[in-house]
Amino acid sequence: MEFNFKKEIYTTPELLKEVSISKATFYRYQSGWLAKGNCLSDMGKFTLKGSKRSYWLIRKFMSWLIETQVNEKKTFNNEVRDQQIAIGVLKGFKNEQE
């Protein structure tokens, strides 16, 4: 799936606005990812030395979203709900670009 972005690096608030995802869902994705023993850099997150802000590589985040939230088989109701949200985010983003 090809996406066109205005820029490659976003702050957290910019990313949430660009991909139209709620803070609650976004932070639930992060918490779940960390709980599985993974690193947020796998999602595209990084910080600059001396900065308190978090930045995101949007292409890496969107790839992570597709691989872990859309394509992965879900078992529990809450996982299915999060998967449906992720699919909605991708559909909404795709429609905005057309």
Q: Which sequence spans correspond to the domains of the chain?
A: 9-97
Residue 71: pLDDT over 90: no
Cα–Cα distance measured from residue 59 to residue 43, given in angstroms and rounded to the nearest whole number: 9
The model carries a pTM of: 0.77
pLDDT band at 97 (very low <50, low <70, confident <90, very high): low
Q: According to the model, what pLDDT value does residue 93 have? A: 66
Question: How many alpha carbons lie under 13 Å from residue 68 in its C-beta half-sphere?
Answer: 16
Contact predicate 40/61, CB 8 Å: no
Joined together, the tokens standing for residue 19 give 């991909």
Residue 98: pLDDT over 70: no
- Percent of the chain at pLDDT above 90? 51
Mean residue pLDDT across the chain: 87
